[in-house]
Structure 1
């Protein structure tokens, strides 16, 4: 397929867009809502012709039309079609060509302003200033360009580790898994519960196939699909013999013929039309935007004041204008895009080393802010290696009858085989006694009935048997009889009570219990859910799923990091309680699925505060619980890997799945674990918090230091008969300071800053600026006094000496503030920065001392400072450090640090 052209955008925005663009299925529902019916009509007009033609053809005619067969295309045929059709991908962007990316890296307000200042300097014959400013532009642009190219490559490499597969048929071969991107028109694909539909396709055969296409059509309930040909269809989305890319199979099975891929699918056309519509900002982007608005408000006040005071006071309005522009630049953390981009990319790479793949980079912030983790029990708290324990009759006595029926059910069902099916089929010794049975039909599993049935013909003929297995209560609801010592007895209330007690006893022992029942069936064309009635209970099959050894320490680690764990499971409450007890998770309350369904939203929000175990849940129950927790102000993570987890994964602040999960779970998740372990997730939480902490460091450092400088400039404009610094001085100082902070993404983070979730709080940032910014201004004023009275720099003729003295002091205090504000501890002793940050700030300090004394001084319009200045300067710096440290302690006592 021809890839969508990249939308012109710069740096950080472009980088985030690329990450979100890859997350296509999660965005689809929002696109449909945002652009409304017009978008759907536009998409339907683009792709409707081919799809409408497919609906009118019989399965055989459709195969002939696409030059395929019931066994699919050969590999050679598929390769020929692929060369013409391209990859089956939607919404991907070509990497920007390097010249265009370089332009985007340059095209920032900072660089444009510097270029304008260089132009003015050149027009006024100040070629030195123009040369220095253009060198600054080249340095800033180059840093941003190189870092973003590296970040983009790292993100692409991580995304390549996770791909969805489709079960493709090839002539003479068993169905094999291939990446969805390799599908071509004419391929025949097998679908079952949990699968993503990989392309627009014509149904060839289907058995109780129900597809969730709410993201495409808004229909809240799954839609049943059939293989029959249809008459003329106006809207392809209404055709029940088509399935569409981006939807998912809820239950049943089917084989389908791919008729459209990539941009030629309905989804592809919709994505192309919606690409011009901006999505709403995420919590992460909203936080960045709030910070930007805060700084813009301060700029709107400070910059005009500096312009007016200097213009009226000195009478040089052009100079005052250029100085005010430089102040505006000084108040803006212009390297924020580069810092954020590199911090997120570094965090994603670090998380990948810990077996955590980040699909959406701004999800790192949500992971760090997470304070509630909702997780399934199976495979997360337990080993996900379910072993068959034993089988019993209906009263809990050992009996092999139920085991044979369960084995036949698992052997012949074609839906999504779960770990219990695999544990049953591992009993190869049952293949002989159960041989000769022929499958006639099946009624697939779904999460409402919580059971599934197969219809089998016994060896040698005779009446067909419907064999049903599933959750205990759901199977018992269909039973009217019970097998007792080989005799069929009515299921009286007394017997039912005893049977439930036997099942409860098995669950209390920590076993997962499946009920098995059967009935003889008359001959008929097909069997349906309604036939699951008047069953005879054969007994129970019990499975052992022991807890992981790592679960207890992982729960302790998460608790130590301020994350509350809540268990959301479809299993019964007895076995869930038992597992929680074994892993050391105190049960504060249990709520069952039917109880959740009976509560309104307000009552559920109250209930989820205290309850930490939710059992026998349907998929919609999990989603409601997640939304209720979010409504309480929590940042919620949901960890799941099944089709029933998809709604909750979508509803959570951060959806977490595993690389062995079903396709729909992996597609809607933000983060993929390569190892299904809470310890791995805890490591990801730690990395997420480190990433966020380092981003917040830069914002605090830059905002407070720059605000202090601008405040000093404002005061100096009122008191001095000349500018306290030239515009070029401010810009050089700002650039050097930003260069020293380029290593912030690689900085260490104190352990005690990782113990609690972290969130954006722009109001705190405003208070932080007002607290720490004026401290630097106090010592700036002390430097003014030293230069004015100590060295006689009191007139425009001595302004270069004055400006040189403040230039050095200001750069050194800005260097120190990096180490003072990066941690609430005592700098260099209680908390030491990473070597990279020590190196860049050390280089900045050395450069600050050298520039006025070195050969570049005249170029920068600086002059050498007297030796006595360097004996007094350490006293100013020590006093500054002491005041900031005192203010930190007061701040921590009142507000905490993060």
Structure 2
């Protein structure tokens, strides 16, 4: 379990908008866990926690105004209003003005602002107004869209809230002081309620069991075989056992106290009750977070990819803008005008709408996926969802119905036995740990078959909780006699390891080789029928008044009684879902802790090609190089531990796959975090949900397939904008260079370039709502920088061909060939340039023939038509002189139509050749 808590801790940060802080947190800690030689706990928090550790549990409850039965709801509400939520301060969203500033402060807007100031100084108020409007519009659009996106994401994430089990005084029960009532480990006079973690306050008494997260810094009240994984804080690879009384050296630090629990850790096994001492900023976790906020925010991998694309275009601008400056300055002699023009070229090359387009596209994708019962915790995860080409999943509940029924209860020889059912029922009924589906199936079946007096005939004495190393759990019960009965239930091999005999009717036989062979034969036969076999054993124990509690050492010398066998039928939707995923290029690999016989039967039933099943014991012996080969060649892995699952995910990732992992248990947390995209369900344990990027409201591969498609659709629309921006910018600069070298005047004024760029950017706002061709959705899609650069070089100059034709027509046909007629020339190129940019959206958005074989969504069509109309109206309308344009002769428009048609035909021809040679992403 080495990485369980590190996985959880990172995901805990991520789930609360802290992903960017985690790298800073690691830097502050020197990439080390908190411990010797690392960052120390703040003195005030350490002092308070040490005092809580040394204080008797009863006194601590009194000090906090609580009792063993917890706070009343009214008292908790008063504290909540006074102390606030159990959240660290930096998790609060930015104030509106801070968000607005963030939307403005990018290199592109700063560049535009400089240009506006220069225009103002030179008394060009029209240019100042247009440029200023562009800055304001770009900033406001991004601000509004991101605000809407953040609110949508918050609403989605609110659907997946984590809760803690809190003790409340039962109605009508008088709440008293802790010192008067003592400690009642049965919690008489209390009720258990689920409270959102953010609503917890100091003094709350919480009940903990395997899989629970520690929601705040706490002091233990009761504990039973409690093991906590806190490696992310202390560096201890193995879980540590916690006790009610600290037995260690009083000189040790607060983190080493055995009776303290810390936010950011989780329960591996055992049960406990604890009182919350500190919440929010006062926790050790909160103190670390406060230090992290002093550093700048980091950048996620997805955003880093977007930034790389942006800076490619900016570097291109930094090369081309000076070149335009030199050519125009030398050719025309007016260096000031050349400088303004070069600056406007630089602005035209900047993808200032890229952040907004990306955010809008991701947000729309998240909203659509929510309607398909897929909740996106991180918008950036949508890209990985679409890029995923290998899905690793558990068997139970994913391939199967997650509706386990107890099919048989037999002795060790396969003969039906009610006695085995009775003891299995007592074990499941009295345990207080993490009740799984098998326990629920036992209870449901037994309550229909047995008399209800069995519940009251025995009283619980103690229990030995389940853990993943023993793979069994025990309860100790008594029925009034002089002996206690230990009932142990778990995996067959683990039960046999602590058994000395086996029961058959009235006989008790020794476990010799022949008997063991018979036992394994019966179990294998049940497994081959698709039944999950759980063994049941027992042992009578003499009552020892001096014995404080029972433990793992008492699980010895047991007598095997028989089996309870469960059936989890395959889902009807599993087979078609597997086929659909395969059709979309996603390979499914089954990673399960179940045995190979049951796994083979279930996989065969759902049509999954099994081949050889690789077992966890084999993986244990493999080096990483061998494992990389094995994970490629095989589809099904059984009898795995959490560490095995994590290794398999890492091996697939090292082979170049984008790996998704779907899990819902505490043992899935390491693999969930190791995967490129962690997928869980709303019914999963807290740690699994916090480790996941995507939460499914329905545990179905069919739902997952819909999410994959939406992820690819979202990525496709982002890629469209990037391709359009890159190719269009390249073509524009090429055209400007040609025109600057041969014309005695500027081919377009800085004002014209800015207005054209503004109109073009506005037309792109509808891209997130565009349709995507089915062919694009059939295979995983990833960022491909090499293809983007090649695409820009091939398609950018195509527009320049028709720009140069426009120059020729304006020069020779319409006699716009002198400085006196430059406004006509500039108006003609302004309209042609804007309409060709609007047209290229439809040409490049699909590999097919636009408008005929693939049509854009109505929002994109309407927006494009509106911008084209505005582009024609500006020189032809009454405001033309404000923009230094003039009306074009009607004879110009047939030439315009011919050039646009030629541009479309040439682009379509090059597109077909390009797709055949290089493919089409």
* Structure 1 residue 46, shift from structure 2 partner: 4.6
Could you say if the C-alpha distance between residues 25 and 460 of structure 1 is closer, same or farther in structure 2, counting changes exceeding 3 Å?
A: farther
The alpha carbon displacement at 1:30 in A equals 7.7
- 1:439 is aligned to 2:430: no
Give the superposition deviation at 1:251: 0.3
Q: How does 1:636-647 map to 2 (within 5 A)?
A: 636-647=659-670
8 Å CA contact 2:164–2:196 kept in 1: the answer is yes
User: For residues 511 and 894 of structure 1, do their structure 2 counterparts lie closer, same or farther at Cα, with a shift above 3 Å needed?
Assistant: same
CA displacement at 1:134 relative to structure 2: 2.2
- Asked whether the equivalents of residues 90 and 293 of structure 2 are also in contact (C-alpha less than 8 Å), the reply is no
Query: Could you tell me which residue of structure 2 aligns to residue 5 of structure 1?
Result: none
Partner of 1:353: 371
Checking the alignment, whether the CA contact within 8 Å between 2:490 and 2:536 is kept in structure 1 is yes
Q: 1:118 aligns with which of 116, 119, 122?
A: 116
CA contact (8 A) 1:188 1:256 kept: yes
On the 8 A contact 2:15/2:690 being kept in 1, the answer is: no
Deviation at 1:400, TM superposition (A): 1.9
Are positions 1:286 and 2:284 aligned together? no
Q: In the alignment, does 2:606 pair up with 1:583?
A: yes
* Contact residue 42 and residue 273 of structure 1 kept, 8 A: no
Deviation at 1:44, TM superposition (A): 3.5
In the alignment, does 2:384 pair up with 1:366?
yes
CA gap 1:363/1:574 in 2 versus in 1, 3 angstroms: same
Name the counterpart of 1:334.
352
Q: Tell me whether 1:568 sits opposite 2:568 in the alignment.
A: no
Identify the match of residue 885 of structure 1 among 908, 915, 918: 908
1:80 aligns with 2:78: yes
Q: What does 1:93-492 correspond to in 2, within 5 Å?
A: 93-172=91-170, 173-229=190-246, 232-277=250-295, 281-426=299-444, 427-428=446-447, 429-430=449-450, 431-433=452-454, 435-457=456-478, 459-492=479-512
1:565-644 equivalent positions in 2, closer than 5 A? 565-644=588-667
Cα 1:526–1:23 shift into 2, 3 Å: farther
Once the two structures are superposed, the pairs formed by residues 765-844 of structure 1 within 5 Å of their partners are 765-844=788-867
Q: How far is 1:61 from its partner?
A: 1.8
Is there any run of 5+ residues in structure 2 with no aligned partner, and where?
1-10, 171-189
State how far apart, in whole Å, the 2-side matches of 1:165 and 1:537 are.
Answer: 39
* Shift of residue 848, structure 1, vs aligned partner: 1.9
Q: How far 1:643 sits from its partner (Å)?
A: 0.6
Helix, strand or coil at the partner of 1:121: helix
Give the deviation of 1:104 after TM superposition: 3.1
1:546/1:91 CA distance change after superposition, 3 Å? farther
Shift of 1:95: 3.3
Say which SS state the counterpart of residue 275 (structure 2) adopts.
Answer: strand
Shift of 1:20: 4.5
Structure 1 residue 45: Cα displacement: 2.7
Cα distance change of structure 1 residues 768 and 411 upon mapping to structure 2, 3 Å threshold? same
CA distance in 2, matches of 1:127, 1:716: 27
Distance 1:531 1:516 in 2: 15
1:539 corresponds to 2:559: no
Q: 2:553 aligns with which of 530, 544, 556?
A: 530
Instruction: Give the deviation of 1:343 after TM superposition.
Output: 0.8
Shift in Å, 1:28:
5.7
Does 1:876 find its partner at 2:899? yes
Question: Structure 2 residue aligned with 1:44, among 42, 53, 64?
Answer: 42
Q: Distance in 2 between matches of 1:34 and 1:683?
A: 41
Distance 1:61 1:557, change over 3 A: same
SS at match of 1:807: helix
Which among 683, 687, 705 is matched to residue 664 of structure 1?
Answer: 687
Q: Deviation of residue 454 (structure 1)? A: 1.5
**What residue number does 1:67 align with?**
65
**Cα contact 2:20–2:298 (8 A) shared by 1:** no
Question: Residue 485 of structure 1: CA displacement?
Answer: 2.3
Question: What SS does the aligned partner of 2:169 have?
Answer: coil
- Counterparts of 1:809 and 1:862, CA distance in 2: 13
Question: 1:8: which partner in 2?
Answer: none
Which of 512, 519, 534 does residue 499 from structure 1 map onto? 519
Secondary structure in structure 1 of the residue aligned to 2:473: strand
What's the C-alpha RMSD, in Å, of the aligned pairs? 2.0
More displaced, 469-478 or 136-145? 136-145
8 Å contact kept, 2:535–2:563: yes
Q: Does 1:553 align with 2:576?
A: yes
Deviation >4 Å, runs of 4+? 17-21, 23-30, 37-40
Aligned partners of 2:781, 2:878: CA distance in 1, in Å? 47
The verdict on how the C-alpha distance between 1:92 and 1:641 changes in structure 2, with shifts beyond 3 A counting, is farther
Q: TM-score, normalised by structure 1?
A: 0.95
- Distance in 2, matches of 1:624 and 1:180, equals 32
Q: Aligned with 2:683: secondary structure?
A: coil
Deviates more, 1:542-551 or 1:270-279: 270-279
- Distance of aligned partners of 1:479 and 1:23 in 2 relative to their CA distance in 1, 3 Å threshold: farther
Deviation string 1:240-267 (CA, Å, 9 cap, x unpaired) is 1111111110000000010000110011
- Cα deviation, 1:539-561, whole Å, max 9, x if unaligned, reads 11111111111111111111111
Moved more, 427-436 or 139-148: 427-436
- Secondary structure at the aligned position of 2:241 is classed as strand
Deviations 1:742-792 (A, max 9, x none): 000111111111111111111211111001001111111111111122222
User: How many pairs align?
Assistant: 881
What TM-score does the superposition give when structure 2 sets the normalisation length? 0.93
**Helix, strand or coil at the partner of 1:562:** coil
Superposition deviation, residue 820 in structure 1? 0.5
Q: What displacement does 1:21 show? A: 6.4
Cα distance in 2, alignment partners of residues 619 and 28 from structure 1: 24
Alpha-carbon distance in structure 1 between the residues aligned to 2:598 and 2:676: 29
Shift of 1:694: 0.5
Name the counterpart of 2:16: 22
Deviations 1:352-393, CA, capped at 9 Å, x for gaps: 111111111101111111111111111111111111111111
Q: CA deviation at 1:155?
A: 1.4
Provide the secondary structure at the position in 1 that maps to 2:276: strand
Q: Which residues in structure 2 correspond to 1:857-872 (within 5 Å)?
A: 857-872=880-895
Q: CA deviation at 1:323?
A: 1.2
CA contact (8 A) 1:32 1:215 kept: no
SS at match of 1:778: helix
For the 8 Å contact 2:358–2:718, the answer to whether it is kept is: yes
Question: Does the aligned pair in 1 maintain the 2:21–2:298 contact within 8 Å?
Answer: no
CA gap of 1:25–1:75, structure 2 versus 1, over 3 A, is farther
Q: What is the CA-CA distance between 1:165 and the residue it aligns to?
A: 0.5
The C-alpha deviation readout for 1:476-501, integer Å capped at 9, x for no partner, is 22222111222110111111111111
- TM-aligned CA distance change 1:58 to 1:224, over 3 Å: same
Give the CA deviation at 1:94. Answer: 3.2
Q: Structure 1 residues 505, 567: closer, same or farther in 2, change over 3 A?
A: same
State which of 514, 518, 528 in structure 1 corresponds to 2:534: 514
